[in-house]
């Protein structure tokens, strides 16, 4: 137990004590102390060196890992071991700060070219890394380009914190790391924030500056158009980048890469594949939810993060029906981190002093550093070669008269005497004499002499080449440029970030054509409507069962060449927020919302329905039931069945139901056609036995939904209706298309024959009659497999959905058809 000491009293103090109190100006003391602290933070912690682009802790980590032999071809070691070595030998600070710097150099989303190859959980944009005892690390291949040739006196070495070890003042840096990977740090009274760039572009600019030392900023910017962020994304507006390249300060906007996709048949979404620099998906999701709760964002139903290791970032933002995806995206850019601003502040250390540099100055500093490194390396290698040549020359002298040399050595009492006698007899230097004294007997063979003579010649050639590099600034610059080119060829990757000069028309705003903002001279920005307007459109059902809608109803104006799936089984005029009906073969009608249907891309001619969605995604059909046609809900419909029944249905449909019956069918009967029919239209029946009946629609009175209809065409035994539809009574361009085949043939095997006839050749008859003959069968034909009547010309499709041409010449009413090259699966209107 320690003894308690009695406090000293006044009588115990020395009597000859002289009091000396010094008055200090607190302001001056604080200024001096603060400046020392600030300089320490600026120089030793926060700001990178303009030459290698590294802060002291980063430089010490890479140097110590290089000294530990943690190369890319070696195994990983525990991160804690690296942190301990750096902290104990070079960086006397907290292990957390060292590990954080090490982790950042291993993250591919932080650095454009990672310098450390990490094994384990090194964190993400939303989560931190695992503890250093759980992770492992080694140098990445590009880091070797920063640390190579440190043993060749290329840079100055300085003592560590306790003057026991030496560390490099700067790394050789075989590529411009500061521009490639950027940097960020907060010092005292200043901060730095530098954007990453593409390695290939930066090296190309550096090589141009090496060859043209007087190059201007515009020349350099031809190679470096802008930053290249690790996360990709889009940079909108390049004026701020130009300012930063000129002055060292500027800002630019980064945006996420977003695509509008059809997630399901009825749901559209925004799929985010790239986010702004240092923005994580969890942060974006949180901001979206907050904005939706605060009613700042509208039209979003859900946000799902589908990011995985195989496919990378995939953030799916599901939209509600009726909302404009581009307008919702504009809101997301405004209220969430999907659009972010990056402020460039190129503060860096140049000769130990903080300076704000533009792009050209940064490249000039790096090029000067690299020229100095290669010059010092060349001088070091030249000295080594000269030293070796000096030894080889002395050794060759000794080998020529080796017997006398051995006699001199054996007759000498000690090594010093032998050294002195060799130096005096053969005119050798002390270094040469010592080397001869250390000579091994195996080097005295005849073969060794030949090897030495070859080595002597090679050394002289190498010395001459190295001396030429030192003597010629042109060759020195060419060597530096070639080495940079090799680095670019080995480590350069394609650009990830898209550069946009200005905001594109559509994603955020639409520029009013010719409009100028008052007093600004710029085009006025017209915000996109958030909700999709109720514009007119076409709803299309193809013969292959694809359903879609167009952008507007003028899309068919110019016609176009038909391609796969483009034979239209049914086409209805509607609007984007309207409703239509779908009639099935069982006599049911289902209500469909046009807004739920996928939108076909806008084209000048006929759209391609290969981008449609199968009907089964919208309606559920019973076994044996099929979709017959699409119809409007606000007009009288004409319905025809396979047994020849016709009915006109009044549009008194229930508003509180999604499906209902429009005709009561007899047993084994089914609907074969349904379409809107006016009083002045004609109704056309076509049977499998090629009988056609045409009669006025006015002959059929409109009935309610539950009525069974009335007799339409009188059928022969075994015959049935294959087509029913209305045709305008005064339409001179209406045609009848019939395709005959054999009833015994397998479907799709027999080609059959086709005939196109003007519908005007068929007379109008009375309802409930047998009609007239429409097609004369050829040998092997006994039935019509397909038929269609309407405004021509019509188009046909094979079973694989490909378009097929029909005869262009109209045949006689009672004539036969023209043989088809391939079986036809469906017929539809052209609408061109």
Give the active site residues.
Answer: 134
Which residue in 812, 723, 751 sits closest to 776, CA to CA? 812
Helices (H), 401-507: 402-411, 415-426, 430-437, 446-471, 473-491
| Sequence-ordered list of residues with C-beta below 8 angstroms from that of 647, at least 6 positions apart, any chain | 638, 639, 640, 662, 663, 700, 703, 707, 708, 709, 710
- Between CA 462 and CA 331 the distance in angstroms is 66
Name the strand (E) or helix (H) holding 826: strand 826-829
Q: What is the DSSP letter of 5?
A: P
Name the strand (E) or helix (H) holding 285: helix 281-293
State the pairing for strand pair 234-236/498-500: parallel
Confirm if 792 and 806 have CB atoms less than 8 A apart.
no
Q: Give me 820's structure tokens.
A: 């088809």
Which residue in 663, 649, 688, 822 sits closest to 749, CA to CA? 822
- Between CA 484 and CA 200 the distance in angstroms is 10
- Kindly tell me the sign of the dihedral angle through the C-alpha atoms of 817, 818, 819, 822: negative
State the pairing for strand pair 645-649/702-703: parallel
Which residue in 668, 572, 691, 674 sits closest to 629, CA to CA? 674
Give how far the C-alpha of residue 527 lies from the chain's centroid of Cα atoms, to the nearest Å: 27
730, burial (CB in 10 Å: exposed 0-12, middle 13-18, buried 19+): exposed
- Between CA 561 and CA 607 the distance in angstroms is 9
Confirm if 215 and 224 have CB atoms less than 8 A apart.
no
C-alpha angle 712/718/722, rounded to 5°?
50
In Å, how far are 356, 555, 831 from 559, measured between CA atoms?
Answer: 62, 9, 7
Q: What is the DSSP letter of 441?
A: G
Q: Give me 564's structure tokens.
A: 């796969």
Q: Return the exposure string of 247-261: e unless at least 16 CB atoms fall within 10 Å of the residue's CB, then b.
A: ebbbbbbbbbbbeee
- Between CA 469 and CA 713 the distance in angstroms is 102
- Between CA 346 and CA 247 the distance in angstroms is 9
Backbone dihedral angles phi then psi of residue 498, each to the nearest 5 degrees: -90, 135
- Between CA 375 and CA 388 the distance in angstroms is 20
Which residue in 228, 232, 226, 243 sits closest to 345, CA to CA? 243
- Between CA 632 and CA 339 the distance in angstroms is 44
62, burial (CB in 10 Å: exposed 0-12, middle 13-18, buried 19+): buried
**Count of helix runs (H) and strand runs (E) in the chain:** 17, 43
In Å, how far are 389, 394, 395 from 401, measured between CA atoms?
Answer: 19, 12, 10
- Between CA 180 and CA 309 the distance in angstroms is 25
Which residue in 738, 824, 719 sits closest to 778, CA to CA? 738
518, burial (CB in 10 Å: exposed 0-12, middle 13-18, buried 19+): exposed
Which residue in 262, 283, 273, 268 sits closest to 315, CA to CA? 273
- Between CA 471 and CA 776 the distance in angstroms is 100
């Amino acid at each position: 137990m320690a003894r308690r000491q009695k406090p000293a009293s006044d009588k115990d103090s020395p009597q000859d004590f002289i009091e000396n109190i010094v008055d200090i100006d607190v302001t001056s003391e604080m200024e001096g102390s603060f400046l020392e602290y600030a300089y320490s933070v600026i120089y030793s912690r926060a700001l990178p060196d303009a030459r290698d682009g590294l802060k002291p802790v980063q430089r010490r980590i890479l140097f110590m890992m290089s000294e530990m032999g943690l190369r890319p071809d070696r195994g990983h070691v525990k991160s804690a071991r690296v942190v301990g070595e750096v902290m104990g030998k070079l960086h006397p600070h907290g292990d957390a700060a060292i590990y954080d710097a090490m982790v950042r150099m291993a993250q591919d989303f932080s650095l454009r070219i990672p310098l450390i190859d990490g094994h384990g959980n090194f964190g993400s944009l939303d989560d931190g890394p695992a503890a250093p005892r759980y992770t492992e690390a080694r140098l990445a291949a590009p880091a070797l380009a920063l640390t190579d040739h440190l043993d060749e006196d290329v840079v100055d070495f300085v003592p560590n914190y306790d003057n026991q070890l030496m560390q490099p003042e700067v790394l050789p840096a075989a590529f411009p790391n500061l521009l490639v990977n950027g940097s960020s740090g907060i010092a005292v009274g200043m901060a730095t924030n530098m954007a990453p760039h593409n390695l290939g572009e930066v090296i190309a600019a550096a090589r141009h500056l090496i060859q043209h030392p007087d190059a201007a900023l515009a020349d350099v910017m031809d190679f470096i158009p802008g930053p290249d962020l690790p996360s990709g994304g889009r940079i909108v507006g390049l004026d701020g980048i130009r300012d930063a390249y000129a002055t060292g300060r500027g800002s630019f906007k980064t945006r996420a890469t977003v695509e509008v996709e059809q997630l399901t048949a009825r749901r559209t979404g925004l799929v985010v594949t790239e986010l702004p620099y240092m923005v994580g998906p969890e942060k974006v999701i949180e901001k979206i939810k907050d904005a939706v709760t605060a009613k700042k964002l509208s039209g979003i139903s859900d946000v799902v993060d589908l990011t995985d290791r195989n496919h990378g970032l995939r953030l799916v933002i599901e939209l509600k029906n009726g909302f404009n995806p581009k307008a919702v995206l504009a809101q997301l850019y405004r209220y969430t981190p999907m659009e972010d601003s990056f402020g460039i502040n190129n503060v860096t250390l140049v000769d130990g002093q903080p300076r704000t540099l533009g792009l050209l100055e940064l490249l000039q500093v790096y090029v000067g550093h690299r020229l100095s490194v290669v010059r010092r390396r060349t001088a070091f290698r030249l000295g080594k070669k000269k030293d070796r040549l000096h030894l080889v020359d002395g050794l060759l002298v000794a080998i020529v008269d080796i017997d006398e040399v051995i006699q001199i050595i054996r007759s000498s009492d000690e090594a010093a005497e032998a050294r002195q006698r060799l130096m005096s007899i053969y005119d050798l230097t002390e270094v040469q004499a010592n080397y001869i004294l250390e000579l091994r007997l195996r080097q005295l063979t005849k073969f060794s002499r030949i090897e030495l003579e070859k080595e002597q010649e090679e050394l002289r050639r190498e010395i001459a080449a190295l001396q030429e590099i030192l003597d010629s600034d042109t060759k020195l610059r060419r060597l530096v440029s070639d080495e940079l080119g090799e680095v670019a060829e080995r480590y350069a990757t394609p650009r990830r970030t898209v550069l946009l000069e200005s905001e594109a028309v559509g994603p955020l705003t639409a520029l009013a054509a010719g409009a100028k903002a008052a007093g600004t001279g710029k085009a006025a920005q017209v915000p996109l409507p958030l909700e999709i307007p109720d514009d007119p459109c076409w709803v299309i059902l193809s013969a292959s069962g694809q359903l879609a809608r167009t952008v507007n109803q003028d899309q068919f104006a110019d016609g176009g060449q038909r391609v796969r799936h483009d034979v239209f089984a049914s086409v209805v005029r509607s609007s984007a927020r309207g409703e239509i009906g779908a009639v099935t073969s069982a006599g049911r009608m289902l209500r469909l919302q046009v807004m739920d249907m996928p939108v076909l891309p806008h084209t000048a001619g006929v759209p391609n329905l290969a981008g449609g969605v199968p009907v089964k995604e919208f309606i559920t059909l019973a076994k044996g039931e099929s979709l017959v046609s699409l119809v409007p809900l606000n007009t009288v419909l004409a319905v025809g069945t396979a047994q020849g029944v016709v009915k006109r249905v009044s549009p008194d449909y229930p508003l509180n139901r999604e499906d209902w019956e429009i005709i009561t069918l007899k047993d084994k009967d089914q609907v074969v056609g349904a379409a809107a029919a006016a009083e002045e239209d004609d109704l056309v029946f076509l049977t499998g036995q090629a009988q056609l009946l045409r009669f006025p629609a006015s002959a059929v009175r409109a009935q309610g939904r539950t009525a069974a209809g009335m007799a339409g065409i009188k059928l022969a035994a075994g015959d049935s209706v294959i087509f029913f539809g209305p045709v305008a009574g005064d339409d001179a361009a209406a045609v009848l298309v019939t395709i005959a085949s054999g009833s015994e043939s397998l479907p799709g095997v027999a080609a059959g024959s086709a005939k196109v006839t003007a519908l005007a050749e068929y007379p109008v008859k009375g309802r409930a009659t047998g009609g007239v003959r429409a097609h004369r069968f050829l040998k092997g034909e006994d039935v019509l497999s397909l038929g269609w009547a309407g405004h021509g010309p019509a188009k046909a499709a094979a079973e694989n959905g490909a378009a097929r041409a029909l005869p262009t010449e109209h045949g006689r009413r009672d004539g036969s058809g023209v043989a088809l090259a391939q079986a036809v699966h469906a017929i539809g209107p052209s609408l061109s």
